Amino acid sequence: MTKRSFILVAVASAAALIAISAVKTNSASDPGSGDWPMWGGTPDRNMVSTMKGMPTSWDIKTKKNIKWIAALGSQSYGNPVVAGGQVYVGTNNELVRDPRQGGDRGVLMCFRESDGEFLWQHTNEKLAAGRVNDWPYQGVCSSPLVEGDRLYYVTNRCEVVCLDTKGFTDGVNDGPYKDEKFTGPHDADIVWKFDMMEEVGSHPHNMSNCSPVSYGDLIYICTSNGQDESHVNIPSPKAPAIVALNKKTGKLSWEDNSVFDRILHGQWSSPSVGKIGDVVQVVHGQGDGWIRGYEATTGKKLWEFDTNPKDSVWPKTRNELISTPVIWDNKVYIANGQDPEHGEGVGHLYCIDATKRGDITKTGLVWQYDKIRRSISTGSIYEGLLFYADFSGFLHCLDAKTGKPYWTHDMFAAVWSSPMVVDGKVYLGDEDGDIAILEASREKKVIGEINMGSSVYSTVVPANGVLFIANRNQLFAITDKK
Ligand SMILES: [Ca+2]
Ligand SMILES: [Ca+2]
């Protein structure tokens, strides 16, 4: 595995109303449209879909149940997103589609959903400083957020960009941004751009990876601000951990920096949004290992929770937050962990009552589970069961309300991706390229295991009756329907 490949997974998510109705019915948060328009499908980031009749068997060699395969770069850490008949995935530029846009770049590719035909791409040159800010060949690690004809994602250059989903195929150069260097039919049309290094002084550690989430007119972004190469100095202690931008204009609405110089390493956790109690909150795991909740519209900090035991010591026992928090039934679920380069170690998984205020490390603790190892995965909650994977390769099934463990499943390989529940089944990929399929039930039952030919660092994505799975260099569309 190449260094920092994990960042994609950290990346490795409709509205709050849907989250509320999901709670009422005690079933999944589900986009409801058939699409999968963001990391996690919905702002609460619960990796669950109620889509029926999804395939549980396929074969990439015989092409059984393989609808199409699209070629990607050589390393692909962006999780697929499906919206409006198009599929988007982040990768690198080792598949050079335009010789004028050669060399190492981060690339967001757009394919037609029906047949996998390549439509357009947004390529970004690497940052001049190199690996300290923008690790070689890691590509784009952000999963876009798509709303109508607008797409938002974070480039490898620590920029939040808004793109026109039609690119230049509509014959119009949209937005205030008109300085695109490439304006052919296969090039991206930028609407606006917000450079987090210039605008808020972020110093991204190794990679900027955030997968945006929105509420109303705002989108929320982790800045990836972190240490420099010394792993001691923090060049920008005054830069925010999180920013909220107006999604129409790209202008800064609010920012928060509660972390200051306490960043343990980097900041790679994507925020989530949900109505908790009476307040729509943005919840974000930050660089000091604390998770914080904010009033979504104003940025007012409501609560904070330390995910590390007070006597823990970085990096041996103290962890950072790379997973994305999941919001469900007024609670927040998240596990901590570390950069895979740091190897395996102890982890902690929490259920937090996010209706509490202030430092809620004690008052907001609903339950804590310490039999998990370091994790960079995001959880899925289905019919009261929480499925959570760790980097050591174990999938844990627990009671979401009580934390009571039901079972574990050993993947026998490192897990960077997140368990996805579709139609009552859990799909989980691993570094050996295996996708395990299990019943999403209290009793453990393995349905099957299918190999994808190379490492799967991304999460299985369901959309419109098709499973989308990216391995290192290919994107597969899988269905058993003709
Ligand atoms: Ca356009
Ligand atoms: Ca434009």
The model's pLDDT over 34-75, given as tens digits with 9 standing for 90+, comes to 999 999 999 999 999 999 999 999 999 999 999 999 999 999
Q: Is residue 162 within 8 Å of 150, Cβ to Cβ?
A: yes
Question: Residue 252 Cα, ligand 1 centroid: separation in angstroms?
Answer: 24
Q: Is residue 196 within 8 Å of 208, Cβ to Cβ?
A: yes
The phi-psi region of residue 96 (left if phi > 0; otherwise alpha if psi is between -120 and 50; otherwise beta) is: beta
Closest-lying ligand to the alpha carbon of 161? 2
Q: Is residue 80 within 8 Å of 72, Cβ to Cβ?
A: no
Question: Residue 250 Cα, ligand 1 centroid: separation in angstroms?
Answer: 17
pLDDT, tens digit (0-9, with 9 covering 90-100), for 80-99: 999 999 999 999 999 999 99
Distance CA 259, CA 316 (A): 20
Question: Residue 178 Cα, ligand 1 centroid: separation in angstroms?
Answer: 10
pLDDT, tens digit (0-9, with 9 covering 90-100), for 169-218: 999 999 999 999 999 999 999 999 999 999 999 999 999 999 999 999 99
pTM recorded for the entire structure: 0.94
Whether pLDDT at 5 is above 70: no
Question: Residue 210 Cα, ligand 2 centroid: separation in angstroms?
Answer: 22
Question: Residue 166 Cα, ligand 2 centroid: separation in angstroms?
Answer: 11
Question: Residue 164 Cα, ligand 2 centroid: separation in angstroms?
Answer: 8
Distance CA 107, CA 166 (A): 17
pLDDT, tens digit (0-9, with 9 covering 90-100), for 301-336: 999 999 999 999 999 999 999 999 999 999 999 999
Closest-lying ligand to the alpha carbon of 182? 2
Closest alpha carbon to 381 in 36, 50, 17, 14: 50
Question: Residue 362 Cα, ligand 1 centroid: separation in angstroms?
Answer: 51
Collapse the DSSP code of 25 into the 3-class scheme (helix H, G, I; strand E, B; otherwise coil) and give the result. Answer: helix
What would the DSSP string read from start to end of 26-67? TS----SSS-B-STTSSTT---EE---S--S--BTTTTBTEE
Other beta carbons within 10 angstroms of residue 186's beta carbon come to 17
| CA distances (Å), origin 44, targets 15, 36, 41, 248, 280 | 9, 13, 8, 22, 11
Question: Residue 176 Cα, ligand 2 centroid: separation in angstroms?
Answer: 7
Q: Provide the residues around ligand 2 (an ion) whose CB is within 5 A.
A: 173-175, 177, 189-190
Mean pLDDT of the region 11-21: 40
Q: Tabulate helix, strand, coil % of the chain (nearest 5).
A: 5, 35, 55
Question: Residue 174 Cα, ligand 1 centroid: separation in angstroms?
Answer: 5
Whether pLDDT at 19 is above 50: no
Kind of pairing between the strands at 48-49 and 420-422 = parallel
Question: Residue 162 Cα, ligand 2 centroid: separation in angstroms?
Answer: 9
